[in-house]
Amino acid sequence: MTTPVALILGAGPRVGGSVAAKLASKGYSVAIASRSGTGNRTSEGYLSLQADFAKPETVPALFDAVKTAFQAAPSVVVYNAASLTPPPDAASILSIPVERVTSDLNINTVSPYVAAQQAVQAWEGAGLPASTKKTFIYTGNILNVEVRPVGLMLNLGVGKSASAYWLGAADASYAARGYRFFYADERAADGKSIGQALDGPAHAEFFAQLVEHEEGIPWHATFVKGKGYVKF
């Protein structure tokens, strides 16, 4: 049988690292992409790729590198990169320079969109068994449903909201083909934002559920540590 491949875009030590370890333990060959990527294998055996998600045009090369290294396209793609910019004038939420809005939007929305495009192109092509579950997971937060008049969160909220829309649309549009697209959002038990207390292993456990396409989990996949999917 063909070894399944997972590509994790944005491989930080909490969520990215935890998800990589979990998927590797489930038998996936894993590629991770980040600014510090080396082009070599890590001590864990992951393929480490250098990436700049402020430049969406560079994303297709990451998929090419994965196919070359593993002789297979990734059936699981996780987008875990994010960016924000504080306004230079704390009293004016719209003082963030346009070039920073553009750069952050590239990282938060355009690059994951390109990654999803590349994933679908790969899934439509020959090579992956028909029985292989195809999954795209975007690490989200509460900002797609909660507007905060806070300058620091502006670009992040804009990007999360925009991405949530196309993820939901994609999940519905490709349902008949068996492809799933998820906006994964860890919450506190009361449904409030988890903020900076997000838990890497909890993401890994939940993402492992998502790649199995378990019944009853919608594209807007809100979850609580130790409980899994919880509808809020």
* Positions marked active-site: 160
The amino acid present at 165, given as its one-letter code, is Y
The distance in angstroms from the start CA to the end CA of the chain is 39
Q: What is residue 143's three-state secondary structure?
A: helix
> Concatenated DSSP letters for 10-42?
S--TTHHHHHHHHHHHTT-EEEEEETT--SSB-
Q: Which residues contact 189 (CB under 8 A, 6 or more apart)?
A: 224, 227
Q: What does DSSP say about strands 47-50 and 76-79: parallel, antiparallel, or unpaired?
A: unpaired
